[in-house]
A and B are shown apart, each in its own frame.
Chain A
Amino acid sequence: MERTDVIKRWIAGLSVAMVCFGGWSACGPDYNDRWQVAYDVDGPYRANQGAMVYVNRTFGEVLRVSPTRTAGDVALQRDRVQVGGVLTTSLLSEDRDTLYIIDDEKKLHIVDLSGEDLVVKSVELESAYDRLTLDPQGDFLLLSFGTPNSNRQIIARNLNEVGVVDLRAGELDARFVTLASRAQELIFAPEFELGGESRRMVAALADSEVTLIDLLASDERNALREVPLTLSEAESVKRPVQALFDVTPDEALPDTVSLYVLTDQGSDITQISVQPSVREGSPFTFDLSVNQLAAGKNPGRMALIELPDRGTRLLALDRSTAKFTLVDVSSGEAATFSLPTPTAAQNLMVYTASRQEGALEVPEQRVIAYSETSPIVTVIRPETISISGDQPTLGRSVEAIRLERTPTRLEYDATASADRAVVFHSGLTGGFSVLNLQNNRDIPIEGFALSDVLFDGAYAYGALQGTENLVVFELATGHPTVFELPYIASSVALDRQEGLLLVENEGAGGNFTVFDAEEPSAEDALVSRGVFFDDVLNKFDDEESE
């Protein structure tokens, strides 16, 4: 009896233990799948005072890192703000004080970067847009849809819809318009005056069509004005590749604003002129007229040049041959000239140099044209070229500069007093070149190629690929001074006020080095690694599920 009782008790006790253990192992909080999403950080966006801003899509936050001094020692300051949602596209304002971010939950987040703390304001949208276009003057923000992504599941959306956010008022106001076709690109016109009133306008470029959006129109009829680029939709599609507004007052075309549109086909540039409506009882504020300007055989890229006392010119590079065309927009007269290069130029950059006129230095607009397949870059001086004249004189109106290697990218700082540009070359040891834009000479710098460059008056700081070094070079002479880094650099930022340099180092996780900009050395520097993972263990503490 006694033994049976004992056995029964053991069995009961073991049963309890088994149940408890079963409960034990089955219990517990569920695994948070956010730990397995892809690691995705967008940036850096170069903000003011040497700061770099990142949008950490994995954590739904914005991080600003900036160089600073604490008790005399260099330090790295981090400021974070939670934005939330699945962040998609970001855009930094021209003044670098505001970051705009949209998420896939139909929200626009506006992050103020100007203060000590990051401040976020959010606006509800009608759709989950994925493209941002910001007014260079900072008054409006446009939201649209980019190229449809087949990896993303879309339930339903109107691709022709454009959101317009008015940033001028304290309270953010968003309205939505539907265009006749999906806008592939949105181009802002600078503020201009027409008919005695201040105007803001945007060109929405779509297949075979341009829509002019009057941002200040009070009625729908005038808010959107479509201009077809073909006679009918049955024609082959003409896709706009570039559009330029000309709002400069022109005596030859008074009270007129023009939009020039270059498409992927044809030999013309479409000129759309906007003038105040003169017809009595017209329902439209503006009259639109369309003109075709001959621009060579196959124009691929264009620039607008303002020539004092001579008017406006369009300079168009030919897509397939080494030629360029100069167009007088008021008369329509055009002439095509050869470039001193073996291949067609695909890129151009307009800059302002100066020339001597007696004792005076007079500004002069010039154009650099270059291709990634030829080491020769061409400097064109439109002011010295007569459209009705002969081929421009090589060495005067058109000058060739032979670089050591083919260029991949050109960086020019318009505010720099040295009037220089830096040319990036391909390959790890392709070096770089400093272009003197006054005398059209290049200074080749042999060594590792640049990954980033930052201008600072008469100097420039360069991050070099593939080597733990930073180069500081004089723009006037090209003389380089090399400083050691703890790790390879990918980006550079400068706080001119504090005299501090912030270098982003290669590698995942957010790695930075802070230097004294005057004397970059290890003794007065700080290395910070894994900055993006600060406090990562507690990132999702609020999302515990049980």
Chain B
Amino acid sequence: MGQGREEKTKMCGAKRIKSREGSVMKQGVMIALCGVLGVMSVSTTAHADELMVQVGAGSHQMHAPAYDAISAENSHAYSHIEVGYAAPRISEYVEGLLIVQAGGDSDATYRGSFTNSLRLDWRVQRVMAGADVGVQVGRFFRPSVKLGVGYAHQRLDLLSLSGEDYVDHAHDVVGFGAIGGRLMVPISIGPSSLTSAPRLKLGLQAHWGYMAQTMATFDELTQREQDEENPWTQESIDLGDLQTRGRLFMGGVFIQVRL
């Protein structure tokens, strides 16, 4: 037990990062650099397994010009649930993650394109497995890098085209990388353990990064409500491709329990 040796590090807080003029690559490199320089002490204390559950929200920026057909904003919001499991006997720094996200842009939030002639409703759900790699710095802060890969389902609805709704689904592979950390308040409850680590931690978590998916193709929109007795053969509607990749922000409140 005892606190680990702390290293002094340089933080890059003094550096101003360009916003509009900077490229994606430059900003990504800067943030990764901050993360690397932010790594501090290494705890050598042996801990029991921990379970972390986080609920939160985030935003995913959409670079694709096609997204202007769906929203006037450059990003979409989503909510997520994250479950993490840390087994220090395997690795002190790595926490396995299961992330479920759901978001999108409802037709109601955006006046349809071409003065409401084209109304689109877009939803996305993602399920990803990943890892949170970081170190505990003191009792209250844990900077980390998050990585994940998984499955994304997108649904695009074309609303009220001559009074009918059409829908198509896209299934893609999604991956992300992000850097950030947790601010936590340790709470000791119940009998003390041999490790003297707090039994419960509550806190806030935030990560910034980049998420990308394989190209989603919406070329088979069909009527949402199909009459099985309809004798007419109807072609599906092809609206084109939607590229969903861009900067990512994930944040939320978490509870971490020592098992």
Q: Measuring CB to CB, which residues of chain A are less than 8 angstroms from any residue of chain B? A: 2-3, 5-6, 9-13, 15-17, 19-29, 31-32, 35-39, 58, 76, 486-487, 505-509, 511, 513, 522-523, 525-530, 533-541, 543-544, 546
Residues in A with CB closer than 8 Å to B183 are 10
Asked whether, in the complex, the Cβ of A19 is within 8 Å of the Cβ of B114, the reply is no
Query: In the complex where A22-B19, A23-B22, A529-B235 touch, is A507 in contact with B161 (Cβ < 8 A)?
Result: yes
Cα A22 to Cα B247 in complex, Å, equals: 12
Closest-by-CB residue of A relative to B251 is: A21
Q: Which of A35, A36, A507, A539 contacts B162 (CB 8 A)?
A: A507
Residues in A with CB closer than 8 Å to B16 are 19
Q: Measured between C-beta atoms, what is the minimum distance from A520 to chain B in Å?
A: 12
Cα A27 to Cα B31 in complex, Å, equals: 15
Residues in A with CB closer than 8 Å to B40 are 9
Closest-by-CB residue of A relative to B181 is: A13
Query: In the complex where A28-B74, A529-B235 touch, is A537 in contact with B69 (Cβ < 8 A)?
Result: yes
Q: Measured between C-beta atoms, what is the minimum distance from A468 to chain B in Å?
A: 10
Asked whether, in the complex, the Cβ of B65 is within 8 Å of the Cβ of A541, the reply is yes
Does B176 have its Cβ within 8 Å of any Cβ on chain A? no
Asked whether, in the complex, the Cβ of A6 is within 8 Å of the Cβ of B137, the reply is yes
Asked whether, in the complex, the Cβ of A533 is within 8 Å of the Cβ of B115, the reply is no
CB-CB contacts below 8 Å: B218-258 with A? 218, 221, 230-235, 237-242, 246-247, 249
Sorted from nearest, which 3 A-B pairs have the closest CB atoms?
A507-B162, A12-B11, A28-B74
CB-CB contacts below 8 Å: B171-202 with A? 180-181, 183
Asked whether, in the complex, the Cβ of B161 is within 8 Å of the Cβ of A529, the reply is yes
Kindly state the interface size class of chain B when it binds its partner.
35 or more
CB-CB contacts below 8 Å: B2-44 with A? 6, 8-9, 11-13, 16-20, 22, 27, 30-31, 34, 38, 40
Closest-by-CB residue of B relative to A506 is: B162
Asked whether, in the complex, the Cβ of B61 is within 8 Å of the Cβ of A27, the reply is yes
Cα A26 to Cα B249 in complex, Å, equals: 13
Asked whether, in the complex, the Cβ of B247 is within 8 Å of the Cβ of A13, the reply is no
Instruction: Identify 11 new A-B residue pairs, CB closer than 8 A, beyond the known A13-B13, A529-B237.
Output: A10-B140, A16-B12, A24-B27, A24-B249, A28-B74, A29-B74, A39-B117, A506-B162, A523-B231, A527-B235, A530-B221
Residues in B with CB closer than 8 Å to A507 are 161-163
Does B66 have its Cβ within 8 Å of any Cβ on chain A? yes
Cα A440 to Cα B201 in complex, Å, equals: 97
Residues in A with CB closer than 8 Å to B158 are 530, 533
Max chain A C-beta neighbours (<10 A), residue from B163, B233, B242: B233
Closest-by-CB residue of B relative to A487 is: B162
Residues in B with CB closer than 8 Å to A24 are 27, 61, 208, 247, 249
Q: Which of B8, B111, B166, B206 contacts A530 (CB 8 A)?
A: B166
Closest-by-CB residue of B relative to A488 is: B162
CB-CB contacts below 8 Å: B70-116 with A? 72, 74-75, 111, 113-115
Max chain B C-beta neighbours (<10 A), residue from A535, A536, A541: A536
Q: Measured between C-beta atoms, what is the minimum distance from A525 to chain B in Å?
A: 6
A-B contact pairs, 9 of them (CB 8 A): A16-B13, A35-B69, A36-B114, A39-B114, A509-B117, A509-B161, A525-B232, A533-B237, A543-B65
Residues in A with CB closer than 8 Å to B166 are 529-530
Q: Which of A23, A526, A537 contacts B27 (CB 8 A)?
A: A23
Cα A534 to Cα B219 in complex, Å, equals: 9
Asked whether, in the complex, the Cβ of B66 is within 8 Å of the Cβ of A541, the reply is yes
Residues in B with CB closer than 8 Å to A39 are 114-115, 117-118
Residues in A with CB closer than 8 Å to B13 are 11-13, 15-16, 19
Q: Measured between C-beta atoms, what is the minimum distance from A372 to chain B in Å?
A: 31
Cα A167 to Cα B223 in complex, Å, equals: 47
Asked whether, in the complex, the Cβ of B114 is within 8 Å of the Cβ of A37, the reply is yes
Q: Measuring CB to CB, which residues of chain B are less than 8 angstroms from any residue of chain A? A: 6, 8-9, 11-13, 16-20, 22, 27, 30-31, 34, 38, 40, 59, 61-63, 65-66, 68-69, 72, 74-75, 111, 113-115, 117-118, 137-138, 140-141, 143, 158, 161-164, 166, 180-181, 183, 206, 208, 218, 221, 230-235, 237-242, 246-247, 249
Q: Measured between C-beta atoms, what is the minimum distance from B208 to chain A in Å?
A: 6
Asked whether, in the complex, the Cβ of B63 is within 8 Å of the Cβ of A28, the reply is yes
Residues in B with CB closer than 8 Å to A509 are 117-118, 161-162
Cα A366 to Cα B75 in complex, Å, equals: 69
Residues in A with CB closer than 8 Å to B242 are 537
Residues in A with CB closer than 8 Å to B221 are 530
Q: Measured between C-beta atoms, what is the minimum distance from B21 to chain A in Å?
A: 9
Max chain B C-beta neighbours (<10 A), residue from A2, A58, A533: A533
Q: Measured between C-beta atoms, what is the minimum distance from A238 to chain B in Å?
A: 43
Cα A26 to Cα B180 in complex, Å, equals: 19
Residues in A with CB closer than 8 Å to B38 are 9, 13, 16
Asked whether, in the complex, the Cβ of A16 is within 8 Å of the Cβ of B34, the reply is yes
Residues in B with CB closer than 8 Å to A5 are 6, 8
Cα A27 to Cα B20 in complex, Å, equals: 5
Q: Measured between C-beta atoms, what is the minimum distance from A63 to chain B in Å?
A: 14
Cα A533 to Cα B118 in complex, Å, equals: 8
Asked whether, in the complex, the Cβ of A35 is within 8 Å of the Cβ of B114, the reply is yes
Asked whether, in the complex, the Cβ of B208 is within 8 Å of the Cβ of A536, the reply is no
Residues in B with CB closer than 8 Å to A13 are 11, 13, 34, 38, 141, 143, 181
Residues in A with CB closer than 8 Å to B115 are 36-39
Q: Which of A17, A505, A527, A540 contacts B65 (CB 8 A)?
A: A540
Asked whether, in the complex, the Cβ of A36 is within 8 Å of the Cβ of B11, the reply is no
Cα A188 to Cα B5 in complex, Å, equals: 96
Query: In the complex where A15-B13, A36-B114, A544-B65 touch, is A486 in contact with B232 (Cβ < 8 A)?
Result: yes
Closest-by-CB residue of A relative to B246 is: A28
